[in-house]
Chains A and B, each alone.
Chain A
C-alpha cells in the first residue's frame, strides 16, 4: 500500500476508485445470475473481465515492485497481500473460464458449441463463492484507502453540492 500511495496522483486514485467501484458492484451482481437473468449475467461478466484487466494494469507498478522484492525483505503485510492477490487472480480466471465453458449466450453467439458438463458448472459456482470470501479479504486489507477515497470522491462532492446554496447565502448576507 505504501508503494501505491507514493505512485498515485490525484487523478490516478480517482480512476482507481471508479474502476474499483464498478468491479465491486459488477461482481456482486454477477454472483446472482437468477436475479439478472442469464444473458445479462454473461455480458456483465465479460465486461467485468475487461475491467479486471484494467484494474491490474492500473496497479502494474505495485505488481512489478513486490514481485521483485518478494523473496527479499518486504513487509509481511505486503507479502500476505501478494499471496491473496495471486489467489484472487487464480480464482477469477477459473470463474471466467468455467463460465465460458457453460455459456449459453456469448459462446453460442460466436457459433461455437462446447461440451456441456456438470464439472464446469459446479466449479463455476464453487469458485464464485470462494471469490466472495477472497474479495472480502482483498477489500478488508484496503479498507483505510477505501474509507479515505470514499470521503474524497463520493461523500465530499455530494456534501459540497448540497451545501453550496447555503454558503452563497451566507456570503451574500455578510456582504450586505
Chain B
C-alpha cells in the first residue's frame, strides 16, 4: 500500500508537469488536443519555424526531419558524443568541486 501511494505521488507529479506543458505550449497540437483529435498536420503552417527544418516533400508532417531526410541525429556517433559531453561535465564539476573545496574558497561546498 505504501509503495502504491508513492507511485501515485510520482504519477501525480508527472501529470502536473504534463498538464503545464500542454497548457503552455501554444500550438495546434495542444489546442487540438482539448477539442478532440485534429487531422494529421501534413503541411507546415505559415508561422511555423522552418529555419532548421527543410520542407521535404517525402514526409511533410516531419518537415524533412524523418530518417533519410536532412537530419543525421541519433546514430551510433550520437552515443559517443553524448557520453563525451557527460564525461566533460563530470570532469569539470566533480573535479572542479573537489579543487574548490581543497582551496576552501567556497565554504558551503
**List of B residues within 8 angstroms of A77 by Cβ:** 108-109
Given A93-B14, A117-B41, residue A141 in contact with residue B93 (CB < 8 A): yes
Binary CB contact string for chain A from 24 to 59 against chain B (1 if under 8 A, 0 otherwise) = 000011011111001000000000000001001100
> Is A118 an interface position by the 8 A CB rule?
yes
A139 touching B90, Cβ below 8 Å: yes
Q: A32-B75, A77-B108 are in contact. Are A143 and B90 (CB under 8 A)?
A: yes
Separation of A77 and B78 alpha carbons in the complex (Å): 31
**Which residues of chain A come closer than 8 Å to B39, judged between CB atoms?**
115
Size category of the B interface is 35 or more
CB distance from B16 to the nearest CB of A (A): 9
Contact indicator A32/B29 (Cβ below 8 Å): no
| Contact between B3 and A57, CB atoms less than 8 A apart | yes
Q: How far is the CA of A38 from the CA of B93 in the complex (A)?
A: 33
With A32-B75, A34-B78, A115-B37: A137-B89 Cβ-Cβ less than 8 Å: yes
Closest 4 CB pairs of A and B: A136-B89, A140-B93, A143-B94, A34-B74
- Selected A-B contacts with CB under 8 Å, 19 pairs: A28-B82, A34-B74, A35-B75, A35-B79, A38-B67, A57-B7, A76-B109, A77-B109, A93-B17, A115-B41, A116-B41, A119-B29, A120-B29, A136-B85, A139-B90, A140-B89, A140-B93, A140-B97, A143-B90
Residues of A within 8 A of B (CB): 28-29, 31-35, 38, 53, 56-57, 60, 75-77, 89-90, 93-94, 96-97, 101, 113-121, 123, 125, 132-133, 135-137, 139-141, 143-144
Residues of B at the A interface (CB closer than 8 Å) are 3, 6-7, 10, 13-14, 17-18, 21, 25, 27-30, 32-33, 37-41, 44, 48, 53, 61-63, 65, 67, 72-76, 78-79, 82-83, 85-90, 92-94, 97, 108-109
